[in-house]
């Protein structure tokens, strides 16, 4: 096993930049989890990245398990993606008019994810989920939505009720600024509880427009669905005239070429996408059945627009990335890499006799510091976050950049090889020893 050089980690430049940033940016960061408060650290400011590695402003190198929160499935600076962006940037950074790239990537998305018959590109996962809910309400002529505790669908008002990601990390159950009238239209239920969804539909008969769910939860740690759970959601929505929306911003094209819906053989009415389809550039998308999507303006009467939607740089990067992922071996290799890392961590956990659960799906991994099996947000909250913080700090000292929150999944790329995995396992062995 590769030996990790143990030297005191100098992050003085990151600390200086953080002090400077706090004077001009709320909390010194542009996305809350990056503040690293949950792991008792200041943020690490990065300067460059290549393949499975990132380097900070102090010159420290880390094996990267954040991967731009899932976007960098091919690794950083993949030649095909970089070449596509370079070609696109020679034409313009933005036109404000349609381009061939938009059509090509739409065709590619539909080819890889058959539940999507039409797709609209936006600029973020938040926009995608927000737009999908508006469309669902218009299509069903109903107002209420169902989400699940610990699932995060972006920061639109309707979703910040018992949400995961940064809210879970910072211990925020909801957000000030959301009118009570609007929050009453969102029902938040425990994940993996089929009886709860059936009860909600009985209590609010004829009022629920849609159920939106992360089919594999990645914003409360990594929580997989129980056998039959997603099928139960599909059947309950169909029986009650509500739409089923899969938020596959994280899982889309990552856990399988066709996302979680392919993995679990479920056909949602609408799907929200992001991350991978931008190749690291800002992007989002929502799509689904033609008869539903044709309600979106200018084809229909549900308005949604965005100046930079379909940005040529994002479209070029995303198209190159999706085409690379078409290879039949891509997800097989990604699963092998993820399983190798997960199995290694499990072995270390068992030998160290630490209370921890290791969960993985293709390209995603989570380590929960709890003796309980984690099946929902409530059980995830039983985790020892202080131990997680100490482990995170130790991993960082040993050259591993893990997501700085117990409630975020880690991401593996196709560039994580034997060297990176061995280094990571050695770092975990030291951290849990």
Q: What is the pLDDT of residue 154?
A: 87
Query: What mean pLDDT is predicted for residues 55-80?
Result: 97
pLDDT at residue 1 in the model: 33
Could you identify the residue written with the tokens 């996408």?
273
pLDDT digits (tens, 9 = 90+) for 130-145: 999 999 999 999 999 9
Question: What pLDDT was estimated at residue 163?
Answer: 53
Let me know whether 110 and 183 are in one domain: yes
In this structure, the answer to whether residues 145 and 157 fall within a common structural domain is yes
61 and 179 housed in the same domain: no
For residue 275, the model assigns a pLDDT of 93
The pLDDT mean for the chain works out to 93
Structure pTM? 0.94
Q: Is the pLDDT of residue 268 over 50?
A: yes
Is residue 91 domain-shared with residue 125, that is, in the same domain? yes
**Which CATH number covers residue 380?**
3.90.1150.10
Is 388 a residue whose pLDDT tops 60?
A: yes
Q: What is the 3-state secondary structure (H, E, C) of the chain?
A: CCCCCCCCCCCHHHHHHHHHHCCCCHHHCCCHHHHCHHHCCCCCCEEEEEECEEEECCCCEEEECCHHHHCCCCCECCHHHHHHHHHHHCCCCCCCCCCHHHHHHHHHHHHHCCCCCEEEEECCHHHHHHHHHHHHHHHHCCCEEEEECCCCCCCCHHHCECCCCHHHHHCCCECCCCCHHHHCCEEEECCCCHHHHHHHHHHCCCCEEEEEECCCECCCCCECCCCCHHHHHHHHHHHHCCEEEEECCCCCCCCCCCHHHHHCCCCCCEEEEEHHHHCCCCCEEEEECHHHHCCECCCCCECCCCCCCCCHHHHHHHHHHHHHCCCCCHHHHHHHHHHHHHHHHHHHHHHHCCCCEEEEECCEEEEECCCCCCCCHHHHCCCCHHHHHHHHHHHHHCCEECCCCCCCCEECCCCCCHHHHHHHHHHHHHHHC
In this prediction, residues 388-393 reach a mean pLDDT of 96
Residue 241 and residue 140 in contact, taking contact as beta carbons nearer than 8 Å: yes
In a domain, 366, yes or no: yes
Chosen domain end from 324, 351, 380:
324
pLDDT exceeds 80 at position 379: yes
Of the residues 324, 344, 368, which one is the last residue of a structural domain? 324
pLDDT value for 328: 84
Does residue 222 share a domain with residue 148? yes
Res 157: pLDDT: 77
Average pLDDT score over residue span 56-60? 97
Residue 1 inside a domain? The answer is: no
Q: 426 and 391, same structural domain?
A: yes
* Same-domain pairing of 320 and 338: no
Question: Do 288 and 375 belong to one domain?
Answer: no
Separation CA 360–CA 358 (nearest Å): 7
Residues 199 and 290 in one domain: yes
How far is C-alpha 385 from the chain's CA centre?
Answer: 21
For the beta carbon of residue 48, count every other beta carbon within 10 angstroms: 12
| Residue 263: domain span | 79-324
Residues annotated catalytic, as ranges: 152, 247, 275
Cβ–Cβ under 8 Å, residues 189 and 181: no
Position 293 pLDDT exceeds 90:
yes
Using one digit for the tens of pLDDT, what is the confidence trace for 174-230? 667 777 778 788 999 999 999 999 999 999 999 999 999 999 999 999 999 999 999
Domains: count for the chain: 2
**Domain presence at residue 42:** yes
pLDDT(360) > 90: yes
Boundary residue ending a domain (324, 355, 374): 324
Assigned domain for 5 exists? no
Mean pLDDT of 165-180: 59
| pLDDT higher than threshold 60 for residue 44 | yes
We report the CATH number of the domain holding residue 180 as 3.40.640.10
Q: Do both 336 and 398 map to the same domain?
A: yes
């Amino acid at each position: 096993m590769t030996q990790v050089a143990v030297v005191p980690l100098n992050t003085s430049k990151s600390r200086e930049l953080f002090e400077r940033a706090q004077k001009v940016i709320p909390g010194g960061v542009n996305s809350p989890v990056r503040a690293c408060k949950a792991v008792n650290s200041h943020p690490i400011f990065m300067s460059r990245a290549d393949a499975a590695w990132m380097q900070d402003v102090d010159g420290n190198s880390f094996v990267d398990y954040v991967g731009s929160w899932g976007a960098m499935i091919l690794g950083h600076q993949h030649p095909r993606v970089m070449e596509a962006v370079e070609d696109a940037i020679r034409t313009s950074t933005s036109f404000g008019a349609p381009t061939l790239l938009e059509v090509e990537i739409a065709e590619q998305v539909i080819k890889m994810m058959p539940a999507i018959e039409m797709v609209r590109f936006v600029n973020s996962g938040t926009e995608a989920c927000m737009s999908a809910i508006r469309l669902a309400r218009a299509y069903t002529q109903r107002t209420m939505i169902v989400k699940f505790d610990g699932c995060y669908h972006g920061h639109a008002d309707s979703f910040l009720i018992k949400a995961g990601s940064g809210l879970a990390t910072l211990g925020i159950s909801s957000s000030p600024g959301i009118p009570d009238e609007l929050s009453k239209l969102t029902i938040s239920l425990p994940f993996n509880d089929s009886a709860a969804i059936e009860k909600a539909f009985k209590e609010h008969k004829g009022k629920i427009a849609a159920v939106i769910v992360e089919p594999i939860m990645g914003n409360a740690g990594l929580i997989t669905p129980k056998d039959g759970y997603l099928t139960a959601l599909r059947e309950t929505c169909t029986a009650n005239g509500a739409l089923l929306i899969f938020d596959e911003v994280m899982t889309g094209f990552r856990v399988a070429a066709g996302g979680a819906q392919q993995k679990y053989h479920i056909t949602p009415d609408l799907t929200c996408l992001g991350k991978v389809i931008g190749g690291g550039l800002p992007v989002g998308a929502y799509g689904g059945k033609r008869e539903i999507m044709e309600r979106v303006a200018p084809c229909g009467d549900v308005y949604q627009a965005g100046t930079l939607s379909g940005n040529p740089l994002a479209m070029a990067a995303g198209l190159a990335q999706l085409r690379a992922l078409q290879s039949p071996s891509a997800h097989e290799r990604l699963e092998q890499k993820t399983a190798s890392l997960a199995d290694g961590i499990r072995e270390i956990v068992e030998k160290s006799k630490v209370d921890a659960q290791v969960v993985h799906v293709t390209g995603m991994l989570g380590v929960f510091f709890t003796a309980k099996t984690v099946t929902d947000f409530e059980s995830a909250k039983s985790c020892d976050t202080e131990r997680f913080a100490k482990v995170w700090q130790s991993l960082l000292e040993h050259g591993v950049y893990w997501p700085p929150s117990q409630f975020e999944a880690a991401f593996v790329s196709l560039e994580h090889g034997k060297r990176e995995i061995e280094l990571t396992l050695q770092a975990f062995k030291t951290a849990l020893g």
